[in-house]
Structure 1
Amino acid sequence: MKCCVMLAVLLFGLMLNLSISGPSIVEAKLEEKFHWKQLVFDWPSNEAEQEAIKTGRYVPENNLPLGLERWNNKMFVTVPRWKAGVAASLNYIDLNSSEKSPKLRPYPSWQANTLPIEMQPSEHKTSGGRLDAEKPTEADIGLKDNATIISTFRIQVDACDRLWVLDTGLADILGDAKQITPNSIVIFDLKQDKLIRRFAIPKDQTKEDTFFANIIVDSERAECNNAYAYVPDLGAYGVIVYSFRDNRSYRVKHNFFHFDPLNGDFNVGGVNFQWTDGVFGMAVGPMNPDHTKDIYFHALASTKEFKVSNRVLQNESHVTSPDAYYDFKYVGDRGMNGQSTAEIYDKETGVIFYTQVNKDAIACWNVKRPYNSETQGLIDSDSHTLVFPNDLKVDTEGIVWVLSDKMPTYLYKELDPAAVNYRILMGKNRDLIKGTPCEM
């Protein structure tokens, strides 16, 4: 009996030691910085807000945040025009604000985020009843202000203090959908808050099911004019490559851009749904000795990760030929329920941080290690604060920012206006990976 008691004590001590020092333990969790029950905006006046509500130009419950990015004291937040009544699609929060639910300020201005009255969406459906985006007319393309943002999902600040915005040009996506302007890359000088360029993606580079919802920038401060942007097409399974220097783009296709039919089932926040979203998450990896970078990517409806050299993507004649097929490489698998909306490479730690939407979680992987379920580190998982982590970024100070927004509930059910629905969380990169397989 005494022997059994001693054995039990030893086993308990071993289990206690493992629970304290094991790599699976999360030693630091993300902290909530901001939250909202419904988004609030910094209107020019109370009268302007009330008039917008009265006319239907502002319907509070229809405004859902999706993307984020930090630059200096600005935290940019995007609000796609999923439904009618979105106040402004491109906004920012003053990070010096002490408010827990601060008002969003349209960027670069209210005017640039206001739909012209003559461009309000009109209904257009196919014979099957499916909403279909109307093609823009030449009159639609002629915006009074090229800085106008119709609807954006994801944005990115580059090494040269420029904000790159992918404007889908599509308003009231789930309702009376209308393609007001072509899909466009819009670039702002953040130091002067001025438009640098608006580039419309050519029509022959889009497909019937095209849906652009992300933009990734590949740039170096010493070569600002040689920047490239990669725009994944999650609906038609391709990637648009844009050269800032040449001010032109081309389309790349590959089998790895498609979704995985075995991983299109999602369960998030009590909502079950099926998606066929292809390539979506992308990240620019570290500089290699030969001055190339690997571009990591994955489909949303998939658990697999791939990569391709930026030298391949930036060589139009090669990447658009059959010869380029084997230049795209399989990296590994995140494992069951490892679907991810976004990923970002952190130069300081050599880690790629990414979302795990089916797990209400944020995870990580060190690019120097093999890519499998054992080398993936779980940073934080919370069925309350991380329901559908939609976007994440790492800023120049090493702070990881995460936006969660309960989007499946917004799309397929109804959000509770009395509950906190949207959150922005933060954590220090090195603290978050401590004790995980990502720490080396």
Structure 2
Amino acid sequence: MQKCLWFLLFVCSASVIGAGKLQVLYEWSWIDYLWESDAHKAAAITAGQYNYTKPVIIDVDVWKGRRKNYRNNVKTFITVIRRPGVPASLTTVSDHFGYGGPLLAPYPNWNWAVEGDCDGITSVFRVAIDECDRLWVLDTGKIEEEHVCPAQLLAFDLHTDRLLKRVKIPRSIARNTLTNQGLFVTPVVETEGVNCEKTHVYMADTTGNGLVIYNGTTLWRLESPAFAFQEAAANFTVAGDHFYLDDGVLGMALSPPVSPRENYRHLMLRPLASFDMVSAETSNLHQSHSAPVRYTLVSGALPSQAAGMAFSASGVLFFGLIQEHAIACWDMHKPIAPENIAIIDHDIAYYQFVSGVKVIPARITERHEELWIATNRYQKIALDVQNFNDVNFRVMSRRLDSLIRGTSCDSQSNLEHLFRDAEDTIWDYSHYLWNLANAEEYNQ
């Protein structure tokens, strides 16, 4: 009953609707790749390494070179869950088209996509691009339930596609200490300094209910009840289809600095199977290898589940609302309340499952911030009832200012209201430390 009341309040109070729809940039009925030759593709099919019904798009990100020799170098990254029948997980959209849609090219090349090669890339859910033009790749090392390789964090120079850093994540950090479960799904990168002298990478472990932090020299793991799924939120309804998914922490986003005087940020995170919103100050997280973490939790903050999230430079958080088939936003300068969550757009065909959400900064677009999303019909995948005559995957975008114009996200107020209505504060002492002097970490 409380959930129904929230929904009614939301429908009546939310700022509906934004100024216009997101525009479709790419769409696919099924996924095919830019093969080295027809023989290469035929061999992959024969060996069971490629089956057009298996690839599922999860995330998107985009980068454009700004240096003189790289100005025409534009990369649109697409991640695909690795499982039998999926030959490559980290890809870019090519200029070539197949019957299902634009062909995907493995990144950096096919040599990195060899199954079982732990010096390559196994399976990637999401990626992140930082202010120093580095692509951060969080590789689960898993194909379905099998740990084929150790989990790892990779960083590539986007100007040259050269590997800059590889951090192998030890099992004691990559998996839950009690359940032995672990699946890395989302990286978020925080940098400080003109040349990114300080870098922190936050990694969400959705099945192990954990958050792993890397500060350039050390890895450590945090575990908290705030990261766990909620049974009441594990039942999903999308476009009339019902399925069960008990994923823990998945959506994460890093706020801009809270003020010109204080440089710390908020890391927003939430389990997929949850209606709550959780926040922690990055200044606290930086010290969490040896000190407790203060998580602030707003219970029932959202009317339904949400996957990917991303902040704008002004502090507007964007996310998809799964059961509303909608794109929504919230201004962090206002309390989390139904009247402050704005529906930007909703469409039962286009927003059935918004998996990837990115705010592309003006330094990349060279014009203005843009919202990019990747959608899939996850409910059809979960129920194994995909129709490959339909469009199953889309990448969409639109400039931010036009999306939020006239909504509750189109203004700012005092930050003192952030989490004013928080119902719980958790001090968590669970941390597990791993110094990289004892792990495999190197620069190339």
Asked if 1:340 corresponds to 2:306, the answer is yes
2:256 paired residue among 275, 279, 286: 286
For residue 52 of structure 1, give the secondary structure of its aligned residue in structure 2: helix
Equivalent residue for 1:243?
215
Q: Which has the higher contact order (CA 8 A, sep 6+)?
A: 2
**Aligned counterparts of 1:382 and 1:80: Cα–Cα separation in 2:** 25
Equivalent residue for 2:8?
none
Q: Decide which structure has the larger Cα Rg and report it.
A: 1
- Residues 173-322 of structure 1 aligned to structure 2 (within 5 Å): 173=144, 177-205=145-173, 206-207=175-176, 208-220=180-192, 222-244=194-216, 246=217, 248-288=218-258, 289-319=261-291, 321=292
Which consecutive segments of 4 or more residues in structure 1 shift more than 3 A? 94-97, 316-319, 331-335
After superposition, the Cα gap between the structure-2 partners of 1:333 and 1:113, relative to the gap in structure 1 and judged at 3 Å, is: same
Equivalent residue for 2:55?
63
Equivalent residue for 1:101?
101
**Aligned counterparts of 1:36 and 1:84: Cα–Cα separation in 2:** 20
Q: Which has the higher strand share?
A: 2
AA matched with 2:331: N
Equivalent residue for 2:398?
427
AA matched with 1:70: V
For residue 328 of structure 1, give the secondary structure of its aligned residue in structure 2: strand
Shift of residue 269 of structure 1? 3.1
After superposition, the Cα gap between the structure-2 partners of 1:315 and 1:388, relative to the gap in structure 1 and judged at 3 Å, is: same
**Aligned counterparts of 2:197 and 2:79: Cα–Cα separation in 1:** 26
Preserved CA contact (<8 Å) 1:152 1:166: yes
After superposition, the Cα gap between the structure-2 partners of 1:418 and 1:96, relative to the gap in structure 1 and judged at 3 Å, is: closer
Preserved CA contact (<8 Å) 2:307 2:355: yes
- Residues 156-167 of structure 1 aligned to structure 2 (within 5 Å): 156-167=128-139
Asked if 1:356 corresponds to 2:321, the answer is yes
AA matched with 2:251: G
Equivalent residue for 1:91?
91
Q: What TM-score, normalized to structure 1?
A: 0.81
- Residues 130-145 of structure 1 aligned to structure 2 (within 5 Å): 143=118
**Aligned counterparts of 2:96 and 2:113: Cα–Cα separation in 1:** 23
Shift of residue 96 of structure 1? 11
**Aligned counterparts of 1:39 and 1:268: Cα–Cα separation in 2:** 22
**Aligned counterparts of 1:104 and 1:385: Cα–Cα separation in 2:** 21
Shift of residue 291 of structure 1? 1.4
AA matched with 2:43: E
Shift of residue 243 of structure 1? 1.2
5+ long unaligned stretches in structure 1: 1-21, 120-139
List per-residue Cα deviations over 1:291-319 (Å, max 9, x = no partner). Answer: 11111111111111121111111113444
Preserved CA contact (<8 Å) 2:24 2:394: yes
Preserved CA contact (<8 Å) 2:17 2:345: no
After superposition, the Cα gap between the structure-2 partners of 1:264 and 1:51, relative to the gap in structure 1 and judged at 3 Å, is: same
Equivalent residue for 1:45?
37
Preserved CA contact (<8 Å) 1:76 1:93: yes
Preserved CA contact (<8 Å) 1:269 1:409: no
Shift of residue 105 of structure 1? 0.9
For residue 103 of structure 1, give the secondary structure of its aligned residue in structure 2: strand
**How many residues were matched structurally?**
377
Shift of residue 178 of structure 1? 2.5
Shift of residue 25 of structure 1? 2.8
**Aligned counterparts of 1:375 and 1:274: Cα–Cα separation in 2:** 29
Identical-pair percentage: 28
| Range 291-300 or range 259-268, more displaced | 259-268
List per-residue Cα deviations over 1:195-252 (Å, max 9, x = no partner). Answer: 11111112112221212111111113515231111111111211001112x1x20011
**Aligned counterparts of 1:95 and 1:392: Cα–Cα separation in 2:** 23
Preserved CA contact (<8 Å) 1:217 1:229: yes
For residue 128 of structure 2, give the secondary structure of its aligned residue in structure 1: strand
For residue 409 of structure 1, give the secondary structure of its aligned residue in structure 2: helix
AA matched with 2:295: F
AA matched with 2:93: I
Preserved CA contact (<8 Å) 1:160 1:221: no
AA matched with 2:403: L
1:36 paired residue among 25, 28, 31: 28
Preserved CA contact (<8 Å) 1:406 1:422: yes
**Aligned counterparts of 2:356 and 2:376: Cα–Cα separation in 1:** 9
After superposition, the Cα gap between the structure-2 partners of 1:317 and 1:418, relative to the gap in structure 1 and judged at 3 Å, is: closer
For residue 368 of structure 1, give the secondary structure of its aligned residue in structure 2: coil
List per-residue Cα deviations over 1:35-77 (Å, max 9, x = no partner). Answer: 1111121111122112211221111110111111111121100
Q: Which has the higher helix share?
A: 1
